[in-house]
Structure 1
Amino acid sequence: MNPATPSQRPRLALFDLDHTLIPMDSDHGWGEFAIAIGWCDRTEFGRRNDEFFAHYQAGTLNVPDYVRFATEAIVQRGAAAAQAAHQRFMQEVITPAILPQAQALVRAHQQAGDLVVITSATNEFVTRPIATAFGVQELLSTELERDATGWFTGGVQGVPNMREGKVVRMDAWLAARGLSWEGVESTFYSDSMNDLPLLERVNHPVATNPEPRLRAIAQERGWRVLDLFTENP
């Protein structure tokens, strides 16, 4: 049997979330929102939140430590209060940040029949409602450990969806559907150097609103550069 040509393979459109589909970091934004509603101390939490964010940008973030820190307030407040707060977070912070050109790009891939996946290092509590707002069902994010009641413990479940972990999680996602990298035509949109392993894995890497280091790599390698928030996709 002859292998499928690129035009015959299932098409996979992968999207990072923070600074790629939305012009902000949703994890850091949730932390700032938690401060604003009085769930966290501004001075200490704000200092540590900024510190962790700097480590993320530098590619040195300890994910389990950060997740335990970032989810402490929701773990303590419980499901009902946390979900109500996240609804406010969506209304006040995230929805205004979902811009038409980002929605249009996702929708174009969906209308073309592509398999659309959002793959984010940010945890599932923060990201699931955002993926839903984009009309995307398939979400790979950093999964949270749950206790016997089904609520979060503050720990990480499985492989954090970050750096090389994004490739590991996508490998498993493909295998669960009887697919392989060789059997799909894949595109990945990301702004971050942290996503270089997955950008190097796909057929069509797109440096999207890229940080300077990634922009330089994309230009050197001839990758497409998309400044989504300043131009039409």
Structure 2
Amino acid sequence: MNKLALFDLDHTLLPLDSDYEWGQFLVRTGAVEPKAFKRANDDFFAQYQAGTLDPVEYLEFALGTLARFTRPQLDAMHCQFMLEVIEPSILPAARALLQQHADSGDLVVIITATNRFVTAPIAAALGVEHLIAAMPEEDAHGNLTGKLLGIPTSGAGKVTHTHAWLEKIGKPLAAFESSHFYSDSHNDIPLLSVVTHPVATNPDATLATHATNFGWPSLYLFND
């Protein structure tokens, strides 16, 4: 595999934010105290959109919520979440883009700021084997402790995690003939800036302006 294709997940391959929707799902199913949790979930999402989110603070909130449940409870809840929220939101355009890179023999990877518990089943549903995501700590029984392993996979952290993952598989970024990264978010400008082919995908306003200024192509997957 001489070409690399990196994909953000939320609002890039999915027309929603899986992290936020997971929180909404917990509220809707009565798994958490609705008013306080929804308020916090909404506040963190607004901070993310504004580019002011403290990723460690948010992940402590998200992973702390997961730690309230046993792993069997979480897995059952996630199956319901996939059926009700995620699978109906996986659109043909996203599958086609992933398939295009797979058919070309590219190394396809999803890299997301959302934690691995939420995103691993989504990556599998999209047919993507390789996932780089925020890693929750687990105890000896597979239950989540509420702690984050390592640094967040957001902002400049995506660059750090990408380089670390590629070094682990023995193929640094510079060894690829070309590298694509598809993202919707201005938060991902650091990683978009180090690949050979950055693609502003369903871009937010800040990223759309940046892409225009730097001559990056824009792609709109979810337009009718």
Fold in common (TM above 0.5): yes
Distance in 2 (CA, whole Å) between partners of 1:147 and 1:169 is 23
* CA-CA distance at 1:183 after TM superposition: 1.3
SS in 2 for 1:40: coil
Asked if structure 2 preserves the Cα contact closer than 8 Å seen for 1:124 and 1:141, the reply is yes
Distance in 1 (CA, whole Å) between partners of 2:216 and 2:70 is 45
Q: Who is 1:163 aligned against?
A: 155
Distance in 2 (CA, whole Å) between partners of 1:73 and 1:160 is 17
Q: Who is 1:205 aligned against?
A: 198
Distance in 2 (CA, whole Å) between partners of 1:137 and 1:120 is 14
Percent identity, please: 49
Asked if structure 1 preserves the Cα contact closer than 8 Å seen for 2:113 and 2:133, the reply is yes
Structure 1 window deviating more from structure 2 (136-145 vs 148-157): it is 148-157
Q: Who is 2:14 aligned against?
A: 22
Asked if structure 1 preserves the Cα contact closer than 8 Å seen for 2:10 and 2:16, the reply is yes
Q: Who is 2:141 aligned against?
A: 149
Distance in 2 (CA, whole Å) between partners of 1:84 and 1:181 is 38
RMSD of aligned residue pairs (Cα, Å): 1.2
Structure whose CA Rg is larger: 1
* Per-residue deviation, residues 200-219 of structure 1 (Å, max 9, x unmatched): 01000000000011001111
Distance in 1 (CA, whole Å) between partners of 2:105 and 2:17 is 29
Structure 1 window deviating more from structure 2 (174-183 vs 122-131): it is 174-183
Structure 1 unaligned regions, length at least 5: 1-8
Runs of 4+ in 1 over 6 A off after TM superposition: none
Question: 194, 203, 211: which is aligned to 2:187?
Answer: 194
Distance in 1 (CA, whole Å) between partners of 2:119 and 2:107 is 19
TM-score relative to the length of structure 1: 0.92
Structure 1 window deviating more from structure 2 (62-71 vs 84-93): it is 62-71
Specify the code of the residue in structure 1 equivalent to 2:115: N
* CA-CA distance at 1:109 after TM superposition: 0.4
* CA-CA distance at 1:44 after TM superposition: 0.7
Q: Who is 2:80 aligned against?
A: 88
Q: Who is 2:209 aligned against?
A: 216
Structure 2 unaligned regions, length at least 5: none
Distance in 2 (CA, whole Å) between partners of 1:157 and 1:181 is 23
* Per-residue deviation, residues 103-131 of structure 1 (Å, max 9, x unmatched): 01001100110000000000001000000
Question: 213, 220, 224: which is aligned to 1:227?
Answer: 220
* CA-CA distance at 1:172 after TM superposition: 0.7
* CA-CA distance at 1:145 after TM superposition: 1.3
Paired residues in the alignment total: 223
